[in-house]
Chains A and B, each alone.
Chain A
Amino acid sequence: MVMLDKDQMLHLAEKTVNIALKKGAAEAEAYVYEGQAANVGIERGQIAKSNRIIDRGLGVRIAVNKAVGFAYTNILKQQDAVEEAILKSLGAARASKSDPDWNGFPEKKPYGDAEKNYDRKILKIHSEDLVEFASRMLDAAVNVNKRVFPIEGGAGAAYLSSAVANSNGIVAFDRGTIMECSLATVAKEKNRVTPVCFEFGAERAYTVDPDWIGKEAARLAVSALKTKRIKTETTKLILTPFALQGLLHFTLINAVKADNVQRNQSRFKGRIGEKVASEHVSIYDDGLFPGGLRTWAFDGEGVPQQKTALIEKGVLRSFLYDNYAAKKEGLESTGNASRAGYLSTPNIEATNFHITIGNKTPDELVSEVDDGLLIYYLQGAHSSNPVSGDFSVVATPAWKIRKGEIAYATRGVMLAGNIFEALKNVSVVANNERKMGQLIAPWVLVENVRVIGK
């Protein structure tokens, strides 16, 4: 299949801005997006499906009298459809209300280096290769133990590109690649089945190792076969990136978004420079992290992505801004305007939310815990209170640590606490970071969390 090239995308974006201005827009912005993906899917122990998805479209944002309209279309080949989108965006702006805080689209600025976000080799992956990756994962999983049942997973390769143009002179194009393999497993014995265990690898370069994923997904499931109940207590938790990902996304990451701060729905309002976490916690939002899953030269508004200090040695440093929130305070955007392809207007979102590593190995971390839990998968992280940071979730399976060793698995344990309290109770950070969606994080040891057993 053919991709739109740089010139085609830039031309469409620029042309759209020009037409919009001619039709009466005071300001205009066009965002052109293309995503192409191929996947081979595993279902219930076998490779049974495949898909090829091509999605491209155009989003047009227009301001008239400080009122903002937006329209999108995925019909790019017809000039009249593009014009219809422009007119719809204009109509929406005219129907909308003026916003005194609207201070225009961003200005042009130089871009930094978005390193290692594109690998030609990923473009050359064929469906036969994907079948091969998926088979290797399956074989690796079942070879660990016959009781392992791979329920779902797959191997995929994707190409993404975007172009932005606006009436302030921004004209930009970027593209990248992603390769991903994943496997969800359960282990079965007689009438018993474990909770779902999951491993994956996602990279911008052709470096994913399907064998490791299969083996690890199986190892976790088998180790969860025999479980013991634990008692209700206040204890130590080692949170792996799996657990951190959901918890932080629905709580802490909201609290560092400038719009939430401005709108009085962040506990961090007015606390820049204060200690909000233990000294072991340093967090950066790094939109240029080499090979990061959210690494791009620019954000959804064409603003350069950058590295922003959020928390340094426990001290709150700054927040994440898009252009609107930044201008409202007379600041510059931090390049955190995120879009759902061409379908949405920009929203503030973390890029690569990077928790800095410490110097203990994961084994050392475990060996220092006399009594605690190792937490991988959480159920219900999305039901956390997004403002107060309170969470009440289920860890299943989780592993009990006794006298510095992983002793046995447990299931259905509830964890109840508050993320802002938990940040203050981080006592050790390991040195084993990995990428998981928007998170780059190591294992983290948190003291004093309430655990409800059976």
Chain B
Amino acid sequence: MEDILTNINEVAVHKFGAKYAEIRAQKLYKTMLTLKEGRVEAAKQGIEDGVALRVLVNGAWGFASVGSLNPETLKSAVSEACKMAKTASSRLKTPIKLAKSKTVKDRVRIKPRKNPSKISIEDKISTALSLNKAALGYDKRVRSCTIDYLDVAGSSYFVNTEGTRIEQDKLYVWSRTNVVAASQGVFTFSREEIGSTAGYELFDVKPPEIVGKTVAKRAVRQLEAKSPKGGKSPVVLGPKVVGVFVHEAFGHLAEADLALSGGVLMNNLGKKIGSDLVTFYDDGTIEGAFGSFKYDDEGVQTKRTLLIKDGVVIGLMHSRETAQKFGVEPTGNARAEDFRAEPIIRMRNTFMAPRDHSLEELVEGVRSGYYLKNFRGGQANLDGTFQVGIQEAYEITNGEIGNPVRNASISGSTLETLLKVDAVGKDFELSSGRCGKGQTAFIGDGGPHIRVNEVIVGGNA
């Protein structure tokens, strides 16, 4: 396999004038399930072979993707990629260059305790059924429950013209539970995703019975909730919301491609933009975490990247292309969803470092505000406007957590909000999620509980 790929790269250089060429090949097996109220909609299995070729010709990228490992097909694809790159380069002002990257020869094996490929579909269905039973059986007001399950296993190969050759196992186990509760014309919705790169033991760490019940309980609790009041408010954020806040309000802005596009961090490198309590990392090395891997899709080894320390912006997340522009080392953040897509800068496991407060202490300091415990999506903008949708929240009155509120979201400007983080908890939780940036990436995010003394809460009361 690797020899074929090396060959194709040589064709790119010698026959079509590429300065650099790389090939990623994948052989993946997937199992997917969708259950609705315990009815298995379909048990699904997939086989995907594919190759992505990327070349630099005259300083412009050419990329081709084909669902075949056939050498003739690959030769024609590489010729196409080089021609496209050459054409694209005709209007180029600043040629693309790549930062140096260590040449690697490695074979990365994942040894899961429970390999999803060795577990029967029947067993996977029965795990999903336990999730369903725990959710639907929790309360008769739970009306529906949708469970999606996915596992991915296989290997990927990376070969470039600089001599790097990597074979790397891929392994993901993921599930999502959606629950709808209804009573007297009120509908509530609750969702939980769990994921792992360790193996099917995910369901030992997060037993289906407990996950199902948690999701159902949240939906039922929301039935009695009321709308929050819109406007500025102090908030205490739970670790799941902190994770999304770090990801949306800061993480995307710390992706070097977005910084170069005019994102607000560009003018703030090395500057203090947050309170002393703000320290964020993006870390691809956490064993078993959903956003972890050893090498990225440019063959760069992953690492733990310090983004902001005690409020001062330290670093960004890079591909080889952006690292060259900034004159720094690539950080191993170039990821591609699969062979159909080009690698772009993506987060891995992004989190806030804990400090020393208990939840009680954080809440005590709030006279009137909200405790935002769990999220439902979020989105960032280059100018630093962030939004995080909230699926579980409570009022805080005189330092005590009180009644539930529903369908809130929070927003603000990153540069203002990070300065308003005024207390950080000592607990820590990392969650699994998926991030969309044209392509989908499996990521982790998290942190401790924190208190922010002002965000805008979107509510219609």
Contact = CB atoms under 8 A, between A and B. Distances in A.
Contacts of A55: 65, 67, 340
A384 interface: yes
Interface string A328-348: 000000000000000111000
Contacts of B447: none
Given A47-B60, A379-B379, A71 B88 contact: no
A93 interface: yes
B397 to A, nearest CB: 21
A48 B68 contact: no
B46 A71 contact: yes
A447 to B, nearest CB: 14
B261 A149 contact: yes
A46 B94 contact: yes
B436 to A, nearest CB: 9
B63 A51 contact: yes
Interface in A358-414: 379-380, 382-388, 390-394, 396, 411-412, 414
A416 B387 CA distance: 13
Interface residues of A, number: 92
Given A194-B383, A416-B460, A73 B47 contact: yes
B342 A51 contact: yes
A116 interface: no
B62 interface: yes
A50 B88 contact: yes
B39 A97 contact: yes
B398 interface: no
A347 to B, nearest CB: 9
A95 B458 contact: no
Interface in A245-298: 259, 263-265, 267
B230 interface: yes
B257 to A, nearest CB: 8
A140 B230 CA distance: 41
Interface stretch (A83-91, A158-166, A313-321, A429-437): A83-91
A111 B169 CA distance: 46
A127 B84 CA distance: 6
28 contacts: A47-B60, A49-B61, A50-B81, A50-B85, A50-B87, A51-B64, A54-B77, A55-B67, A57-B48, A74-B49, A77-B70, A101-B39, A152-B261, A186-B261, A263-B37, A264-B144, A345-B42, A379-B380, A383-B387, A383-B390, A388-B186, A393-B409, A411-B383, A416-B230, A416-B459, A418-B460, A452-B457, A454-B232
Contact of A380 (B60, B85, B340, B378): B378
Interface stretch (A10-18, A37-45, A210-218): A37-45
B93 A385 contact: no
A232 B231 contact: yes
Interface in B166-208: 180, 182, 186-189
Contact of A54 (B67, B231, B385): B67
Given A388-B189, A396-B381, 10 more contacts: A44-B260, A49-B60, A49-B61, A54-B66, A91-B45, A93-B43, A186-B261, A193-B264, A379-B380, A392-B460
Interface stretch (B117-125, B152-160, B283-291): B117-125
B67 A74 contact: yes
Interface hub of A57, A93, A380 (most chain B Cβ within 10 A) = A380
A264 B83 CA distance: 54
A195 interface: yes
Contact of B387 (A72, A390, A393): A393
Contact of A75 (B47, B92, B120, B380): B47
A99 interface: yes
Nearest to A246: B379
Contacts, number: 300
A151 B266 CA distance: 14
Measured as residues with beta carbon below 8 angstroms from the partner, the interface class of chain B is 35 or more
B91 interface: yes
Contacts of B49: 74-75
A415 B458 CA distance: 7
Interface hub of A45, A101, A379, A415 (most chain B Cβ within 10 A) = A379
A193 B260 CA distance: 12
A4 interface: no
Interface stretch (A61-69, A167-175, A299-307): A61-69
Contact of B389 (A380, A388, A411): A380
B262 interface: yes
A345 B41 contact: yes
A92 interface: yes
Nearest to B379: A379
B460 A99 contact: no
10 A-B pairs with least C-beta separation: A383-B389, A383-B377, A390-B407, A380-B387, A392-B458, A392-B409, A49-B61, A414-B458, A92-B43, A50-B84
